[in-house]
Structure 1
Amino acid sequence: MTRHLTFDPAAPVSRPDVDDSPVTGLVPDSVRYVLERAETWLGWDGTAVLSDGNAWTPHKALRRVGDHLIDHLAEIECRLAGMPTIPDRWHGRKLTLDGDWARFTEADLDEATSRLGRLAVWYEARMSALDDNTLDHRPDPDTWTIREVVHHVANVRYYADQLDEPA
């Protein structure tokens, strides 16, 4: 069985809005939000939510959060090291894996809390070591600044919000 949310075709990804908030806390705050939401998924009934053209389950939402954090952290680290970034070849949210349909248990929540918590601390540590010039450097007109990348990554809340109950 599948629950449906209103389908809203995704617009092309544009530069994220940035503000003056310290970038060090953006990703950790979003990860806390996602994990608080994930606590409500214990005992999930196996019914996916259809939203934004995709089927969503607790495991898929958490997988997408982790993937997104890793992808962009790798991008940031390569840029800071002066290395080319590795293109993203993942299918992203369009792909629902067999494992995404598994029961969501306390052990799954514990694993996600550990994994995503460590990634959030990594973002916090990395961002705290960067000055504004580095955060705001734009290598070319089409490349996002690191500050823009971090603001974009902080939108991982989106994945958790896809499991909202339909109105």
Structure 2
Amino acid sequence: MNDSAQERLRETGTENPAAAVVAMVDHVLDLAATWTAWDGKPAHVDDRVYTPHKAIRRVTDLPQALNSVRAGDTPILDHLAELEARLVGEEPQPDHWHASASTTEADLAPFTPEDLDEARSRLTRLARIWANRLGTLTEGQLDDSPAQGWSFRRLAEHLEESTYYADAVGRSA
């Protein structure tokens, strides 16, 4: 977990894994609320290019290999699919995402008020699904999760690092 993610967890006063996911989404949406004023210039951070659309796309969908963690590679949807598959004894489906090295034409589009509404709806629902699912698990299930991979608690805490993408874009004036 990066320093800003740990700080947000301390601010919430809890290490509840559901709270980590909700805090991440709240932070991303707080920044996204300013992106309708984005000047259209992609942010160059580390060795990648980030835009408002790409930040939302990366937070929502895109995965990373659990064995090669790169700061911020934390997909809310992909890890949810992994958690659900492991709970029912299935192998998680392999992904075919292009990761953050890929910047699409859609990523470069202006971020409109409608895009913000869509992001709010999508991310708020995904955070609620995570919180509801994690709330049904025992402490034992959170910490000693079935099958290979991180514990479910660690998966949820790892999602807090998705703020990397929104922070890369930052606040628009």
Q: TM-score, normalised by structure 1?
A: 0.83
Give the deviation of 1:45 after TM superposition: 1.3
Contact 2:60–2:123 (Cα < 8 Å) also in 1: yes
Aligned pairs (5 A) from 1:9-24: 21-24=15-18
Aligned pairs (5 A) from 1:76-91: 76-91=83-98
Large movers: runs of 4+ above 6 Å: 17-20
Give the deviation of 1:139 after TM superposition: 4.7
Provide the rounded CA distance (Å) in 2 between the counterparts of 1:88 and 1:148.
Answer: 20
The number of residues matched between the two structures is 149
Q: Counterpart in 1 of 2:107?
A: 100
Provide the rounded CA distance (Å) in 1 between the counterparts of 2:92 and 2:60.
Answer: 18
Provide the rounded CA distance (Å) in 2 between the counterparts of 1:109 and 1:164.
Answer: 15
Aligned pairs (5 A) from 1:1-150: 21-67=15-61, 68-139=75-146, 143-150=149-156
Is residue 155 of structure 1 aligned with residue 161 of structure 2? Answer: yes
Gaps of 5+ in 1: 1-16
Give the deviation of 1:74 after TM superposition: 0.2
Give the deviation of 1:155 after TM superposition: 1.3
CA RMSD after TM alignment: 2.1
Amino acid in the other structure paired with 2:58: R
Q: TM-score, normalised by structure 2?
A: 0.80
Contact 2:54–2:107 (Cα < 8 Å) also in 1: yes
Aligned to 1:128, the other structure's residue is in SS state helix
Higher Cα radius of gyration: 1
Aligned to 1:42, the other structure's residue is in SS state helix
Aligned to 2:36, the other structure's residue is in SS state coil
